[in-house]
Each structure stands twice: as structure tokens, then as C-alpha cells.
Amino acid sequence: MLQILDVDGHVVNEALLPQLSHDELRAIMRKMVFTRIWDQRAIKLTRQGRLGFYAPVAGQEASMIGSEAATSKEDFLLPSYRDVPQAVWHGWPMYQAFLYSRGHVHGGQMPEGVNVLMPQIIIGAQIVQAAGVALAFKLKKEKRVAFTYIGDGGTSQGDFYEGINFAGAYQAPAVFIIQNNQFAISVPVHLQTAAETLAQKAAAAGIPSERVDGMDVLAVYSATKRAVERARAGEGPSLIESMTFRFGPHTMSGDDPTRYRSKELEESWQRRDPLVRFRAYLEGQSLWSQADEEAVIEEAKTAVSEALAKADAQPKMTVPELIDVMFEQLPDDLRAQRAEFVK
């Protein structure tokens, strides 16, 4: 498993330490802290009934932020339902992410130039879609990459193998990132598969893979950067297994992780907190301070409040509006249904 920073923030793999400027390192830390605060606020908003569906992300910030930071804004992101932070950092306005959570149609209406598909709720479907987007880039001779995410449980879906196999067969410029947070809701990895690792599943599709410490943002960045550059150079797709852990529940829809995870297991992963590790590294380089952290915390709180206010100001969605956006030209059955709501 690739690791660059140990749990104390010390460099243990100098050769693969990414060549990032001080500003770039600080920007990654800012996004990680911002995301942690945003996640805490989103959990409270969900409990208050002000958001709809929400999947917490605390613990997975290194896996999420490190990988997205290794891509270009011209690259196309196909997120799963937990990958809202990457989508927002890739250009999706936060207020629309809140509307998406509420099931509002405007949440999925991506602004022009934002290369993000709406988060996929169907497990594994984004893998097949990413293979198709990547193939389109290849056919158009565009130096762009499609990148997507899936959880450990999602690798048991047929769409997962079909997608990576298609990409491998056509040598499409795609990067598939498995966020192995150890549990598919309540089912541990060892009950999902007899495979020793999830990374090795790439071998059946004939594509290279790598297993990385998903609590180490520099390791995630390094692995993703190499995979993206490989894809952009026409050398085909790659798969990355990021070993991470979600500190909270699977979603806010009633999951209770204390029923299937021991306190000892949770504490062992808490000691590997990606923010603590990267903070220690940056402080050792005199690149981060308590004042920096507090400034980002306040920035995140303000941004979330403003995004929520903008989402609240959006007109309530109507049933006719929902029907109208389904097709360019409505078929007769939907036209009839729509008429029932405009009498």
C-alpha cells in the first residue's frame, strides 16, 4: 500500500512526494478543513429536516480532496452519492448540491462549463458511464480524462466489472477510484469478496491498479496524478483502491454504525485522521497555523450559510416542472399526467 506520510505526518516515501508548491499544499489543507466543517453542518441540517438525503464524509477527506486535486477542471467527474465534496470543488455550486439533497430539479442542472454529472444514486452505474465518457474523449481526440468513484460494496456490482472491462478493452482515458471505507453500509469487506484486495480486481479487466493509504492525502494525490497523466497520454485506464474509513454513519437515513463496528475499530481509524496527519506535516514545514485553521473554519461556516440561504430562496419545485425536464418532447402518457396537475 502506497504511503507518503505516516500517521504522525512524517515523510516515509521521499521518492513519490508530489512536487507541489507551498500554495498548492495549503490549498489542499484548506479544502480538507472546509469539507470537514461543511460536513458537520450538513449533518445538523439533515437532522433539522432542512436537507434531504445526505451521506457523511468525515474521515474520507484525503481520499476525496487529494484525488480531485490531481485532475484538471477540463476532466469530467462522475461522482457517486457520497462524492459531493469533489463535485463542489470541481465547480458544482454548493447551493445546488443542497437542492440535489432535497430532490429539487435545479440541483442537477449543471452550469455551463462545469464538467460534473449529477451524483449517481444507482450503485455502480457511474462506472459504466465513466467508461463511455472516456471513450468519447478518445474518439474526439481530446486530452481529457473521465474519473469516477465507487465504494467497496459497489465493486460487487456487475456494472463495476462491465465498466472497467469496457474501458480496458477500448483503452479509454478513465480513472476508477474505489473508496474502500471498510463497510458497505453494515457489511464488512471480507463478506463482500474473497479477493485479498479490491485493487486486484483490475487484473481481470487488464488494467493497472494501485492500493494507497486513503488517510494520506499526498499518497492519494500522487497515485491519482500518475493515473491521470497516464490516461491523458493515451495509455489507457487505471484503478486505485483508496484505503479509508468513514467516521460517521453510511447515510443520515437511519444507519447506526455502532451496531456493526466496534469501538476499538473506530478508535484505531480515528488515530489516522487525515486532517491531523496532514496538519502535522504542514506545521512541520511552517505552512499552517492555528490562525489559518480558524480562518478556514469561519469561511466554511459563512459559505454554508450563504449557500443554504440561496437554496431556500429557490422557488419550490412543482410536479409539472418535474415532468417537463424529463424529455425534450413529452410522450403522450406524460403529457396526460402533466395535465392532471395543471387543471
161 is catalytic: no
190 is catalytic: no
Q: What is the pLDDT of residue 160?
A: 98
Instruction: Give mean pLDDT, residues 95-112.
Output: 96
pTM of the model: 0.96
Q: pLDDT tens-digit profile of 216-234?
A: 999 999 999 999 999 999 9
Q: pLDDT tens-digit profile of 158-190?
A: 999 999 999 999 999 999 999 999 999 999 999
Which of the four pLDDT bands, split at 50, 70 and 90, describes residue 343? confident
Q: pLDDT tens-digit profile of 198-209?
A: 999 999 999 999
DSSP string of 86-150, one letter each residue: HHHHTT--HHHHHHHHHT-GGGG-PPTT--BPPPB-STTHHHHHHHHHHHHHHHTT----EEEEE
Instruction: Give mean pLDDT, residues 263-281.
Output: 97
Which of the four pLDDT bands, split at 50, 70 and 90, describes residue 246? very high
Q: Is there a contact between 18 and 283 (Cβ–Cβ < 8 Å)?
A: no
Instruction: Give mean pLDDT, residues 81-97.
Output: 98
Q: Minimal CA–CA distance to 149: which of 172, 171, 180?
A: 180
Instruction: DSSP letter for 213, please.
Output: E
Average pLDDT score over the chain: 97
- Alpha-carbon separation of residue 3 from 12, 38, 68, 195, 277 (angstroms): 7, 27, 18, 22, 12
Q: pLDDT tens-digit profile of 278-295?
A: 999 999 999 999 999 999
Q: What is the pLDDT of residue 254?
A: 87
Q: Minimal CA–CA distance to 214: which of 149, 136, 265?
A: 149
CATH topology of domain 14-317: Rossmann fold (3.40.50)
Tell me which of 30, 41, 226, 250 is the catalytic residue: 250
Residue 11 has pLDDT above 90, yes or no: yes
232 is catalytic: no
Kindly give the pairing relationship between strand 174-180 and strand 187-188: unpaired
Tell me which of 90, 246, 272, 279 is the catalytic residue: 246
Which of the four pLDDT bands, split at 50, 70 and 90, describes residue 342? confident
The rounded percent of the chain whose pLDDT value lies above 90 is: 98
Tell me which of 26, 102, 260, 338 is the catalytic residue: 260
Q: pLDDT tens-digit profile of 14-33?
A: 999 999 999 999 999 999 99
- Alpha-carbon separation of residue 57 from 63, 209, 211 (angstroms): 10, 24, 20
